[in-house]
Amino acid sequence: MPGSFTLLPQPRSTEVGQGSFTFTEDLAITGPREWAAVVRRLLAPGTGLDLPGRDDGALRLHRDESLPDEGYRLEVTGDGIDVRAGDHRGLNWAVQTLRQLLPAAVYRPAPVGAQWQVPAVTITDAPRFAWRGLMLDVGRHFMPLADLYSFIDLLAMHKYNVFHLHLSEDQGWRMESKSHPRLHEVGSTRHQTRRPGAEDGDGTPHGGYYTQDQLRSLVSYAAQRGIEIVPELDFPGHVRAVLAAYPELSNNPGEGHTVADTFGIFDEVLNLSDEAMEFVFSVFTELLDVFPSRYIHAGGDEAPRTEWLASRAAAELAERRGLPDASHLQNWFTRQVRDWLAERGRVLVGWDEINDEGHLDGAVTMAWRGAGYGVEAARAGGEVVMVPTSHLYLDYYQSNDPDEPYSIGGHLPVEKVYAFDPLEGVPPEHSEKILGTQANVWTEYIPTMRRAQYHLFPRACAHAEVAWSDPAGRTWDEFTPRLIGHLERLDAVGVNYRPLGGLQPWQRGGTGAFERPAAHLGDADGQVGE
Ligand code: ACM
């Protein structure tokens, strides 16, 4: 493959031809109307071309159901471009690749004048994994809706097909609820933000939520671009915002409950009474009405047993439900939600703690504490998405430069992300259980999308290739020039990425109130709970 092709992620096969094809003012599209709309959406703004539909267009779109899921074939010759795809997502990825064959100016929202010439080439491509995700935590810091749209555009550029939207946290509940309006009225706002252990916070309220119609529109926008939004409501832990709104769901309802103003793992968990279960099913009913995804994330991480074990009511519940003791309430809870979702044609996804009392059948395990949890779940016959802290927590530090912005800990340079193999340690007979991989952006110390972009890029460029491309024939040394070429595209969009050579002057330093304490940098594999 010649150095001038800076395709990222690397396609399965690239055969360079002779000559090139140049776009003319009257370039037209031949193919199904709804497919032409996909092409126009991705090519018209930057080129300034109308790209009308016509029978004799030089940009020809063909439905080819013999191609694998999300696969495509792109053939550029001197007299036109033929795109073959089996489905709407394959078409999206084909056009994303076509954009990478054009000058980076095609990524601008309006034309600046460039020659739209594409080298002759035949590319045959399909993803290695069906689940290629990024998770964004909008609980710790609310991100304005407009930021989520631009986030989706960046996912699509990198052929990610899952946007895992983490919608509830101790520090904020982010979805409008018609059945339980205090969730968004009360649970969406904390009165200030405070560093763990500090007495004083910033004295500034923080919050926000998305209306159901805003989220429906976001779902459609993502789907048009080949992306499914997998929503998460995190239960039974990480619920302080819920308890601030509905204290009767707490194990200690008499205590004053507030939306958390600092970060960490809190003892507060849902009391899992019949009333709490009614509440959970009621908000999941609303969630399913907004999000059509097959997979629904129900959380399950970091739920201490402290409150249940101290509670007479929890002990009685456990006994009534035939459990050995109250520490098994989470396992009981997850089974109820799994079955309830299955009755509605959906599949539960949970953080790997869902298997702590034994493997939970019929659920997808999101292995975050280590890839080993994923290997174990796959061996037990379950489906898995690999998201280990060791390689894929993009909120961790990108380098040991003391000027790095304050982060939660850990050390995760882009080379290490690139080196991740989701199938490492997975016995070949279980490898089909690994649905794919996802990188996570937790936002305790990431208050804005601008800062999230800094943490995401270029590490997500590396992860996108891990998720899409076969490992054979690619190496970090071979990837680096492609990545450098790809950064020109991020420049065209205006993404606040971290340059490979080190931080920009304006990227240095802490996060407002969060100055870095001495020796805060984590070691290479340090796991930091979130
Ligand atoms: C997690 O990082 N608590 C899933």
Any ligand 1 atom below 6 A from CB of 301: yes
Residue whose CA is closest, atom 1 of ligand 1?
Answer: 530
- 234 Cβ closer than 6 Å to some ligand 1 atom: no
The answer to whether 383 and 364 are in contact (CB under 8 A) is yes
Nearest alpha carbon, ligand 1 atom 4: 301
Ligand 1 pocket: which of 135, 166, 239, 302 to mutate (most atoms within 8 A of CB): 302
Please give the distance, rounded to the nearest whole angstrom, from the Cα atom of residue 108 to the centre of ligand 1.
Answer: 35
Nearest to 448 by CA among 212, 261, 208: 208
- SS3 state at 94: helix
Rounded to an integer, what distance in angstroms lies between the CA atom of residue 253 and that of residue 203? 27
82 membership: H or E segment, kind and range: strand 80-85
| Nearest C-alpha neighbor of 52 from the set 23, 24, 27 | 27
Q: Is the CB of 302 under 6 A from ligand 1?
A: yes
Task: Kindly write down the DSSP assignment for every residue of 278-301, as one continuous string.
Answer: HHHHHHHHHHHHH---SEEE----
413: Cβ–Cβ under 8 A, 6 or more apart, which residues? 398, 399
Strand partners, 121: 16, 76
Ligand 1 contact, 170 CB (< 6 A):
no
| Crossing angle of helices 329-343 and 312-320, rounded to 10° | 50
Which residue type, as a one-letter code, is found at position 502? G
Q: What separation in angstroms does the CA of 268 have from each of 260, 349, 373, 405?
A: 11, 22, 25, 30
Instruction: Give the 3-state secondary structure of residue 13.
Output: strand
pLDDT of the residue at 160: 99
Q: 131-514 belongs to which CATH class?
A: alpha beta
Spatial separation of the C-alpha atoms in residues 530 and 442, rounded to whole Å: 7
Alpha carbon distance 526, 520 (integer Å):
12
Q: Which residues pair with residue 77 across a beta bridge?
A: 80
Coil, strand or helix at 41: helix
Q: Which residues belong to the active site?
A: 302
What does the DSSP assignment read for 130-173? SEEEEEEETTTS---HHHHHHHHHHHHHTT--EEEEE-EETTEE
DSSP state of 78: T
Residue 528 Cα, ligand 1 centroid: separation in angstroms?
Answer: 8
State in Å: Cα 356 to ligand 1 middle. 14
Residue 265 Cα to ligand 1 midpoint, Å, equals 10
- Ligand 1 contact via 151 beta carbon (within 6 Å): no
The structure tokens listed for 320 are 């009534």
393 CB near ligand 1 (under 6 Å)? no
351 lines ligand 1 (CB under 6 A): yes
- As a whole number of angstroms, the distance between CA 466 and CA 420 comes to 7
> Exposed, middle or buried, 16 (CB in 10 Å: 0-12/13-18/19+)?
middle
Q: Name which residue sits closest to atom 3 of ligand 1, judged by CA.
A: 530
The pLDDT value recorded for residue 285 is 98
Task: Give the list of residues 6+ apart from residue 240 with CB closer than 8 angstroms, or none.
Answer: 170, 171, 257, 258, 259, 260, 266, 268
Cβ distance 440 to 387 under 8 Å? yes
> Nearest 5 degrees, angle CA 362-CA 367-CA 371?
125
Atom 2 in ligand 1: residue holding the nearest Cα: 530
Q: Is 406 in the pocket of ligand 1 (CB under 6 A)?
A: no
What is the widest separation between alpha-carbon atoms in the chain?
Answer: 78
Q: How far does residue 301's CA lie from ligand 1's centre (Å)?
A: 6
b or e along 417-444 (b: 16 or more beta carbons within 10 Å of the residue's beta carbon)?
bbebebbeebeeebeebbbbbbbbbbbb
Q: Side chain identity at 391, as an amino acid letter?
A: H
Q: Taking a C-beta distance cutoff of 8 angstroms, is the pair 59, 53 a contact?
A: no
pLDDT truncated to tens, each residue of the chain (530 aa)?
333 589 999 999 999 999 999 999 999 999 999 999 999 999 999 999 999 999 999 999 999 999 999 999 999 999 999 999 999 999 999 999 999 999 999 999 999 988 999 999 999 999 999 999 999 999 999 999 999 999 999 999 999 999 999 999 999 999 999 999 999 999 999 999 998 888 889 999 999 999 999 999 999 999 999 999 999 999 999 999 999 999 999 999 988 999 999 999 999 999 999 999 999 999 999 999 999 999 999 999 999 999 999 999 999 999 999 999 999 999 999 999 999 999 999 999 999 999 999 999 999 999 999 999 999 999 999 999 999 999 999 999 999 998 999 899 889 999 999 999 999 999 999 999 999 999 999 999 999 999 999 999 999 999 999 999 999 989 999 999 999 999 999 999 999 999 999 999 999 986 555 555 544 544 444 556 67
**Ligand 1 close to Cβ of residue 368 (< 6 A):** yes
| Distance from C-alpha of 284 to C-alpha of 334, rounded to nearest angstrom | 13
Q: Judge whether 378 and 433 are in contact, CB under 8 Å.
A: yes
C-alpha torsion sign, points 101, 105, 107, 112: negative
List strand residue ranges (DSSP E) for 170-326, in order.
172-173, 189-190, 206-207, 228-232, 295-297
Looking up tokens 């119609």, which residue turns up?
A: 213
Q: Quick check: CB of 35 below 6 Å from ligand 1? A: no
The CATH number corresponding to 13-125 among 3.30.70.20, 3.40.50.920, 2.60.120.430, 3.30.379.10 equals 3.30.379.10
Task: Evaluate the omega torsion of the peptide bond into residue 231 and state whether it is cis, within 30 degrees of 0.
Answer: no
Cβ contact 168:260 at 8 Å: no
Pick from 351, 393, 443, 446 the residue to mutate for probing ligand 1's pocket: most ligand atoms within 8 Å of its CB. Answer: 351
pTM of the predicted structure, to 2 decimals: 0.96
Mutate to test the pocket of ligand 1, among 442, 445, 446 (most ligand atoms within 8 A of CB): 442
CB 147 within 8 A of CB 449: yes
Q: Which of 233, 301, 387, 392, when mutated, tests ligand 1's pocket best, judged by the most ligand atoms within 8 Å of its CB?
A: 301
User: What are the angstrom distances between the C-alpha of 37 and each of 34, 45, 152?
Assistant: 5, 12, 18
Q: What is the distance in A from the centroid of ligand 1 to the CA of 143?
A: 19
Q: Where are the domains of the chain?
A: 13-125, 131-514
Distance from Cα 160 to the centre of ligand 1, integer Å: 21
With a 6 Å cutoff on the Cβ, whether 530 touches ligand 1 is yes
373 Cβ below 6 A of ligand 1: no
Cα–ligand 1 centroid distance for 85 (angstroms): 36
Cα 5 to ligand 1 centre (Å): 37
3-state secondary structure of 126: coil
Residue 114 confidence (pLDDT): 84
